[in-house]
């Protein structure tokens, strides 16, 4: 499962491996190809970065956007390690190739147009465009919505997935069913602070090659690590995602 910190790590790994390398050839299977892919051939990979759960590869004037969703995977390899029919994108570099397998979103467009679209459709990513005041304004506009649902809205909390959502709410001590209008500014600020620090912590673990397990206090767990009481599990409406919370510690 890809959350923002996972996309960030993959972008850093791609940059480390391929930055400055000249693209020799490209193969792509996608409907979101807005410019002729061969225009990228002969260009250097200038930068790889992330924006929420998106991975962005910059080639002079163009961007390739990759979204791994649930099933996509990225490999650095000389030969395809999976069946060719699963290949969605292959970037051929002199030493090794960057290959994306299975159902992700692959988009190729002019850099300016894609950047504009990204900024119109995505909100604040705690790891790339952190802006406390802007995030607070975006949250406060959604008075009627539940905080547990808002945390999954990529146009507000860009890069937060279901696991991080549960863990952020627990650390902030906030019940996922609370609506924004029921929350105080202090609670919203506490939630934002925890959002950023948990994303950073997750990224640090990822960089060390570790999984998310060390930071899971409630996700897929039964007992509250703070009070020892029983955690509640249900699927929250309207997102229907797995939700875990402590009725004692989360108000
Ligand atoms: Zn508790």
* Distance separating alpha carbons of residues 157 and 154, to the nearest angstrom: 5
What is the Å distance from ligand 1's center to 91 Cα?
Answer: 48
Q: Is 42 left (phi over 0), alpha (psi -120 to 50) or beta?
A: left
What is the Å distance from ligand 1's center to 191 Cα?
Answer: 17
> Token pair of 208, please?
């060390």
Name the residue with higher pLDDT: 95 or 70. 95
* Distance separating alpha carbons of residues 203 and 211, to the nearest angstrom: 10
Is the CB of residue 29 less than 8 Å from the CB of residue 88? yes
In this predicted structure, the answer to whether residue 1 has a pLDDT above a threshold of 80 is: no
* Distance separating alpha carbons of residues 44 and 121, to the nearest angstrom: 28
In this predicted structure, the answer to whether residue 243 has a pLDDT above a threshold of 90 is: yes
CATH topology of domain 132-215: Helicase, Ruva Protein; domain 3 (1.10.8)
Cis peptide before 219 (omega within 30 of 0): no
Mean model confidence pLDDT for the chain: 96
Is the CB of residue 109 less than 8 Å from the CB of residue 34? yes
What is the Å distance from ligand 1's center to 148 Cα?
Answer: 17
pLDDT of residue 53: 96
What is the Å distance from ligand 1's center to 44 Cα?
Answer: 52
What is the Å distance from ligand 1's center to 123 Cα?
Answer: 31
Domains 4-121 and 132-215 share a fold: no
In this predicted structure, the answer to whether residue 103 has a pLDDT above a threshold of 90 is: no
What is the Å distance from ligand 1's center to 168 Cα?
Answer: 14
Q: Stretch 115-131: mean pLDDT, rounded?
A: 97
What is the Å distance from ligand 1's center to 65 Cα?
Answer: 40
- 130-144: buried (b, 16+ CB within 10 Å) or exposed (e) per residue? eeeeebeebbeebee
What is the Å distance from ligand 1's center to 242 Cα?
Answer: 18
In this predicted structure, the answer to whether residue 6 has a pLDDT above a threshold of 70 is: yes
In this predicted structure, the answer to whether residue 61 has a pLDDT above a threshold of 80 is: yes
What is the Å distance from ligand 1's center to 213 Cα?
Answer: 19
Tens of pLDDT, residue by residue over 220-233, are 999 999 999 999 99
pTM here is: 0.94
Q: Stretch 110-124: mean pLDDT, rounded?
A: 97
Question: What residues does each domain of the chain span?
Answer: 4-121, 132-215
CATH class of segment(s) 4-121: alpha beta
What confidence tier does 203 reach under pLDDT thresholds 50, 70, 90? Answer: very high
What is the Å distance from ligand 1's center to 195 Cα?
Answer: 19
Tens of pLDDT, residue by residue over 7-60, are 999 999 999 999 999 999 999 999 999 999 999 999 999 999 999 999 999 999
What confidence tier does 217 reach under pLDDT thresholds 50, 70, 90? Answer: very high
In this predicted structure, the answer to whether residue 127 has a pLDDT above a threshold of 70 is: yes
What confidence tier does 206 reach under pLDDT thresholds 50, 70, 90? Answer: very high
What is the Å distance from ligand 1's center to 76 Cα?
Answer: 43
What confidence tier does 211 reach under pLDDT thresholds 50, 70, 90? Answer: confident
Q: Hey, is 192 helix, strand or coil?
A: helix
User: Phi and psi for 28 in degrees, rounded to 5?
Assistant: -145, 140
In this predicted structure, the answer to whether residue 2 has a pLDDT above a threshold of 80 is: no
């Amino acid at each position: 499962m890809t959350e923002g910190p996972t996309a960030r790590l993959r972008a850093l790994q791609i940059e480390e491996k391929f930055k400055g390398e000249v693209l020799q050839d490209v193969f792509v299977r996608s409907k979101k190809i807005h410019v002729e892919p061969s225009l990228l051939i002969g260009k250097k990979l200038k930068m790889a970065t992330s924006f929420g759960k998106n991975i962005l590869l910059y080639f002079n004037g163009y961007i390739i956007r990759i979204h791994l969703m649930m099933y996509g995977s990225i490999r650095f390899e000389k030969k395809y390690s999976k069946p060719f029919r699963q290949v969605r994108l292959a970037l051929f570099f002199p030493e090794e190739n960057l290959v994306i397998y299975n159902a992700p979103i692959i988009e190729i467009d002019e850099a300016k147009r894609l950047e504009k679209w990204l900024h119109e459709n995505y909100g604040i990513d705690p790891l790339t465009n952190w802006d406390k005041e802007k995030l607070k304004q975006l949250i406060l506009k959604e008075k009627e919505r539940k905080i547990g649902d808002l945390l999954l809205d990529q146009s507000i909390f860009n890069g937060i997935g279901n696991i991080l959502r549960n863990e952020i709410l627990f650390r902030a001590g906030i019940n996922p069913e609370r609506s924004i209008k029921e929350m105080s500014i202090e609670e919203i600020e506490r939630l934002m602070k925890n959002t950023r620090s948990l994303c950073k912590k997750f990224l640090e673990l990822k960089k060390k090659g570790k999984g998310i397990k060390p930071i899971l206090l409630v996700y897929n767990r039964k007992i509250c690590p703070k009070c020892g009481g029983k955690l509640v599990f249900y699927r929250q409406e309207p997102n229907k995602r797995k939700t875990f919370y402590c009725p004692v510690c989360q108000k």
